Amino acid sequence: MSKSRTQGIFTVEGVKGSVPRSQYSEKELRSKQWTPIDYCLKTVFKQMELAGNRPRTIHSYDYIFKQFCEANNIVFAEEITAQTIYNYLDVLQVSDRTKKIRLKSLKAILGKFYFNNWLTERFWLNIHIKTDREIKVSAKESDIFKLIHYIDQSSFIGFRDLTAILLMFKTGIRITTLCNLRERHLDLENGFLNLDGSTLKNHKFLKLPIDEELIERLRTLIDSNKKIRKYYNRHNTHVFITQRGLNMDVSKSSNCAISKQLTKYSQRYNLPNINAHAIRRAYAKNLLEKGASVP
């Protein structure tokens, strides 16, 4: 187990010996025609893998759910009840916000147990943890303009990053959509992004207008990409690539290179709220200030 999985929200203190053991003896449990937890988890995580979930996501679910089972000495899926969930939450010596994260993970797995017919009722749906809602702040437009001034656009990385920042700020697309953007998604003649379901969270088609500045930047970026791919003998059509011509595969990591660059810029130029989500919120805030409806 890596160190990161034994700290922070993954820390379970006071679990062992803090809750009663199963009401059934080991002999009684094995005599019942119940489904072993190990089999359930193996099946569920295989389904998640085939659905495209990242290994680190599956690992997190696995870690939390096994701690839940350990806290209640659960061996079979049919032993899981609402009370076992309450028992687990009670022994966690963490904040309510962290408990909410744990509960969300448990519910996700239990939902898959129900889907596979190992549980007959969704009793966990009525279990909730109330927390104060965190207010997420958008990036300041003035800070984005500072980045435009600070970033060196004479380098490929600088020009690529600034183009990415402006594209997110002016269209509101997510960082995952940006990193998966292909040349076929660009209609530079008519000034549109034509995003199909493969790039969007809701898997629906979306057509977004882009201005003349973005059109020229994207054309210049594509020309630069061609030179880099030719030099390194790479074959892809991604709009945003690494300086070695590789695409930014966000399915294997929580952050693509653009996101990591934003963190560096935030620290280097002392701009505390510069990240992909904050830039997206700045786009939404601009729309609202111009009179757009919330929907």
CB 166 within 8 A of CB 213: yes
- Given a cut of 80, is residue 203 above it in pLDDT? no
In terms of domains, do 159 and 110 share one? no
The secondary structure of 104-122 as a DSSP string is HHHHHHHHHHHHTTS-S--
Residue 134, domain member (yes or no): no
d(CA 139, CA 279): 5
CB 192 within 8 A of CB 207: yes
pLDDT of res. 39: 94
In terms of domains, do 121 and 164 share one? no
126, 149, 170 - which closes a domain: 126
pLDDT of res. 31: 56
In terms of domains, do 118 and 165 share one? no
In terms of domains, do 250 and 145 share one? yes
d(CA 104, CA 117): 20
Strands annotated E in the chain: 186-187, 192-195, 206-209
In terms of domains, do 253 and 178 share one? yes
- Given a cut of 60, is residue 295 above it in pLDDT? yes
| Matching residue, tokens 């927390």 | 131
d(CA 246, CA 142): 32
- Domain encompassing residue 279: 141-289
Average pLDDT, the chain: 85
- Total number of domains constituting the chain: 2
d(CA 65, CA 68): 5
Residue 194, domain member (yes or no): yes
**Cβ burial, residue 265 (10 Å; 0-12/13-18/19+):** buried
Task: Give 5's DSSP letter.
Answer: G
CB 88 within 8 A of CB 68: yes
Residue 95, domain member (yes or no): yes
| Matching residue, tokens 């290994």 | 55
CATH number of the structural domain spanning residue 171: 1.10.443.10
Instruction: Take residue 219 and report the two structure tokens written for it.
Output: 């054309």
- Given a cut of 50, is residue 147 above it in pLDDT? yes
Percent of the chain beyond pLDDT 90?
60
The per-residue pLDDT for range 81-128, each reduced to its tens digit, is 999 999 999 988 888 888 999 999 999 999 999 999 999 999 999 998
